Amino acid sequence: MKTVLYSICLDKLSAFLGVNLNNPSEVRMIGMQALKDALGPVGMVRFMQQYDLGYGDYTREKKSEPDIDIDEIDVLLKQKRV
């Protein structure tokens, strides 16, 4: 029942907006245009930069790197200053 209701609502919203919400490419294009209209080109880019997924595997890298204590950090910082 929920799936049918969701599908009906999605179809009505798609018709109202004039956008095929089942087409990710079309949604992305309309969304980018809405951001550009609302924020301007520079604001749009700044907004998009906040959602950069990054790279690497933090969990794996965290486990592979040994923890260092505050004294070791202090030594490293002093070496950088010299």
| Residue 3 pLDDT level (bands cut at 50, 70, 90) | confident
Res. 65: pLDDT tops 90: no
Q: Which sign does the torsion angle of CA 55, 41, 21, 5 carry?
A: positive
pLDDT one-digit tens code per residue, 11-61: 777 777 777 888 889 888 888 999 999 999 999 999 988 887 777 887 888
22's CB contacts (< 8 A; 6+ apart) are: 10, 14
